[in-house]
A and B are shown apart, each in its own frame.
Chain A
Amino acid sequence: MSVQPTPGPPPGGTPPAETPSETPAETPSEAPGGSPGPAGGRTATLRPARPRWRETLRLLAGNPTAAVAAVLLLLIVLVAVFDEPLAPQGANEIDVAGRLQPPGLEHPFGTDDLGRDVLSRIILGASVSLRVGFLAVLIALVVGSTIGLLAGFYGRWVDDVLMRVMDMLFAFPAVLLAIAVLAVRGPGSGNTALAIAVVYVPIFARVTRASVLGVREEVYVRASRSVGAGDLRLLTRHVLPNAAPPIIVQTSISLAFAVLAEAALSFLGLGTQPPNPSWGLMLAEGRGYIELAWWIAFFPGMAIFLTVLCFNLLGDGLRDVLDPRQRTLMGGGGR
């Protein structure tokens, strides 16, 4: 996944004349320093401040792909929240007579091998899949980034100790590690999230550390230190924000993979337990009937695919929009 920001879409409504002008403020410096309002001709070309979060929303709206992804994700989340009233049937209403029915008027997504309505199960499974995904990534993001931030910023033995521990986690195959965690703590959605998080912590630590290593050496970090800023301030105000883009991308990718991982663990019988619906579990169950009834596996697969895609597109869009350099039309010709 490329970290290079794509050229931002034109921020709607910004008059082109507002690109910074070279000349105005380069007026002779002998101008009286303290006199109020020496602006005169200068102000005209200089754009005043705007509230930041509103600007962010506005720009996100100006990025069509990201906006569509955001709206779709919002819909998916709403479906997950209001699953009970939305689902046409219960998740476990078995209808043996109506098993393996193809998509039709009565069952838009068909029925599975026990005659359960696939659409209903997808709607009811959304909350499980999303909750596990979000929770897993949230834990991994917080823990992993913190470790990476400290390791990258302080270097030396801090780096050595933290990253060697991460290497140890890396050394285990991901599924094996997750199974080990679940075997110790027992199945359940919370533990599934924890198991997935343990797998993703070292990835976040690595990505964050690499990014921090670059940012740490930037002159503005030294400049900030030269005015007396302490480590905490440097880390939170300068290093983390500037190291964030790859982390944002990693988050969106991980959300996607976490949904898939939940599926894999459920398939192995360690995640969501069978009668309950989850997208991954449905995908696994439908696998056996793929020649007879493609819809059993297809629709949960589509649900996973769409969710994952939306996470990725939104992540890309967010990364671009959060970069002030992308906010102006041609970014300022700097580095």
Chain B
Amino acid sequence: MSGRLDDDVLVSARGLEVHFPIRGSGVRRRQVGAVRAVDGVDLDIRRGETLGLVGESGCGKSTLGNALLRLVEPTGGRVEFDGTDVTALGRRQLRALRRRAGMVFQDPFASLDPRRTVAQTVAEPLEVHGLRPGRRERAARVGELLELVGLDPAVSGRYPHEFSGGQRQRVGIARALAGEPDFLVCDEAIASLDVSVQAQVLNLLRRLQRQLGLTLLFISHDLSAVRHISDRIAVMYLGRIVELGPAAAVGREPQMPYTQALLSAVPVPHPSVERSRERVVLTGDVPSPAAVPSGCRFRTRCPYVFEPCDDVDPALQPAGAPGQLAACHLHGVVGREVPEGEKAGTVPAE
């Protein structure tokens, strides 16, 4: 929680929660538990910045991205987009939000309707929002958008299956840009592409971000890609942001043991360094988001676990470089004390 109240924040989440109910098998299907995919996230995304969101599979990154745009309904907390409360929007206002905030999806093979041409796909936001009425104007705009993402406008009559993964992802980006959004969520946008194509799409996103002044939430499990593109990085673990800070600082001097482990898992492209460097290797598995450990949710795997970790749920606090925040008691015990009755979760790994 930055505590700053600067007006250049475009998207802000406070105590955001997305809990998916687990229902029993009985006839009444009573709720017997919840998967806490996003569990109390505070996050400010500044206008014009690229915020990288990293974390393991299943830590809630994508759910968070979806919840910010209300593509998944949050079960708690609030989200503000440019000052308006997204969680309280009605149908019509939500549609207006959809124009201003776009999303690029992970799998470019699944995210384009196979029965619609590229032109139909890219023109959909224009039709939905009544932008560029008139066939000819729309076609011209589609051409513009395709050129913007590096595709030949002549391909607009073709179907998605006629394209490679990278080309499809460009179509997906063109669709997301059609409504001239301010905010773009890239949900693992390069994860399912070939490595060589990843770099191209990454550079395309960076160019577009600068050219159009976009605010970007770049969700990925690929730390090096995130470091390459982001201004700031947020690290997520079990539904919570555990470290947040300038990309360079988080990349160089991570303040949270989990981030340190993540970073040390990235190979160094230099054989002798790679061989000699010290690695932080985590033991154990990620606890189930249906049974989150009490106190610090990382304590079951943390190599530095000590006294307060199972009693106090750590809050983000300044640590390391200016603007860098970490949720870790190693920087001082700050956070919410866990009442005795709530103590649940897994036993710390030995």
Contacts and interface: CB of A to CB of B under 8 A. Distances in A.
Q: Interface majority SS on B: helix, strand, loop or mixed?
A: helix
A227 interface: yes
Given A26-B200, A29-B203, A49-B156, A220 B113 contact: yes
Nearest to A27: B150
Interface in A218-237: 218-220, 222-230, 233, 237
A325 B99 contact: no
A328 interface: yes
A241 B107 contact: no
B245 interface: no
A50 B207 CA distance: 33
A334 B117 contact: no
Interface stretch (A32-40, A80-88, A112-120, A195-203): A32-40
Contacts of B170: 25
A29 B200 contact: yes
Given A47-B158, A223-B103, A223-B175, A20 B163 contact: yes
A327 B162 CA distance: 10
A35 B154 CA distance: 14
Contacts of B109: 334-335
B98 A228 contact: yes
B157 A26 contact: no
A7 interface: no
A226 B116 contact: no
Interface stretch (B5-13, B123-131, B292-300): B123-131
Given A29-B150, A33-B211, A328 B167 contact: no
A291 interface: no
A228 B164 contact: no
Interface string B151-195: 111111111111110110010100110110000000000000000
Contact of A331 (B129, B158, B161, B163): B161
A50 B157 contact: yes
| Most A-side CB within 10 Å, residue of B98, B110, B117 | B110
Given A43-B152, A223-B111, A30 B207 contact: yes
A52 to B, nearest CB: 9
A236 to B, nearest CB: 12
A28 B201 CA distance: 9
B124 A227 contact: yes
Contacts of B211: 33
Interface in A9-65: 19-20, 22, 24-31, 33-36, 38-39, 42-43, 46-50
Given A48-B154, A218-B110, A223-B103, A325 B200 contact: no
B102 A226 contact: yes
A324 B115 CA distance: 6
A238 interface: yes
A242 interface: yes
Contact of B128 (A33, A34, A233): A233
A26 B197 contact: yes
A258 B269 CA distance: 69
B161 A328 contact: yes
A333 B167 CA distance: 14
Contacts of A108: none
Interface of B: 69, 71, 94-95, 98-99, 102-103, 105-107, 109-117, 119, 124-125, 128-129, 144, 147-164, 166-167, 170, 172, 175-176, 178-179, 197, 200-201, 203-204, 207, 211
13 contacts: A25-B152, A47-B158, A47-B162, A220-B110, A227-B98, A227-B179, A228-B98, A228-B129, A238-B113, A242-B113, A242-B114, A324-B159, A334-B160
Given A220-B114, A323-B115, 9 more contacts: A22-B164, A28-B203, A30-B207, A46-B154, A228-B99, A230-B128, A242-B113, A332-B160, A335-B110
